[in-house]
Amino acid sequence: MAGIANSFKNSSDIHLWLIEHRNDAPNRFLSEPELARKQAIRREAKRHVFSLSRSALRQILATYLGLDPQEVPIAVMPNGKPFLSSEKSDIYFNLSHTGGLTLVGVASGRQIGVDVEKLDPRRPWQKIAKRFYSEQEIAFLEGGKMEDFFQLWTLKEAILKVRGEGLSRPLRDFSFSLDQPFPQKITDRGMSFLISPLHTGGNYSAAVAVEKSDDATFTVKKWPNFDPLA
């Protein structure tokens, strides 16, 4: 990746990288612990997605840090959220993968959470909503669209992932109104966040949440091409 350098022009910049899952994607940058994780994944398809996602993540972060991909110091918090363990950098990241696509979010000086889901009409989405969503969201989805169900899902996961809480916290703890403008400000347990859906193109729903409710400019780009999609 020599010659490519990514940086933030403003602290409000948030970069969202889309990585299409291709069979020929490089998967050679993994650390020893990542290789061990990869070997432990039973299903070949999942192993491939883990590997190409981590490789792309390392290549992307390397361009911000000015390091080789293998040198990017990725560590894991006790709650499972990966982070950069370098004291010299204020770069934060998060990653999500679904059938055919990986999303990597990168921010400066603030925590970030991202989620992407492939739209799947076979999912019993009304049943899932009744079980996990808030009363207002269930009412909103009555006679509604599958796309709205997935959009709400990704917003909920993005907010859980910015906090590092994962699915240890009930999804109905956060309730979103899709008929209100985004980005929306959220205050939760003494912290504030900004959250927004993302337009990735294709058959996907995606969202990003960042710590602090100050301004944020979300730019979606393709990896390894650099054309902004918007």
Binding interface with ligand COA (CB under 6 A):
50, 53, 79-82, 94-97, 113, 115, 157, 160-161, 164, 166-168
Residue 24 has a CB neighbour count (10 Å cut-off) of 6
Enumerate the β-bridge partners of residue 218.
Answer: 14
In the complex, what is the shortest distance from the CB of residue 114 to ligand COA, in angstroms, rounded to a whole number? Answer: 8
For ligand COA, which is the closer residue by CB, 49 or 216?
A: 49
For ligand COA, which is the closer residue by CB, 5 or 70?
A: 70
Q: Are 159 and 167 in contact (CB under 8 A)?
A: no
For ligand COA, which is the closer residue by CB, 55 or 227?
A: 55
In the complex, what is the shortest distance from the CB of residue 3 to ligand COA, in angstroms, rounded to a whole number? Answer: 27
For ligand COA, which is the closer residue by CB, 103 or 141?
A: 103
For ligand COA, which is the closer residue by CB, 37 or 222?
A: 37
Both structure tokens of 163: 């906090």
DSSP letters spanning 204-216: EEEEEEEESSS--
In the complex, what is the shortest distance from the CB of residue 152 to ligand COA, in angstroms, rounded to a whole number? Answer: 14
Residue nearest to ligand COA (CB): 166
Q: Is 71 helix (H, G, I), strand (E, B) or coil?
A: helix
Dihedral Cα 223, 155, 38, 108, nearest 10 deg: 60
201: left (phi over 0), alpha (psi -120 to 50) or beta: left
In the complex, what is the shortest distance from the CB of residue 211 to ligand COA, in angstroms, rounded to a whole number? Answer: 12
In the complex, what is the shortest distance from the CB of residue 147 to ligand COA, in angstroms, rounded to a whole number? Answer: 18
In the complex, what is the shortest distance from the CB of residue 146 to ligand COA, in angstroms, rounded to a whole number? Answer: 17
For ligand COA, which is the closer residue by CB, 9 or 122?
A: 122
DSSP letters spanning 107-159: EESS-EEEEEEE--TTS-HHHHHHHHS-HHHHHHHTT--HHHHHHHHHHHHHH
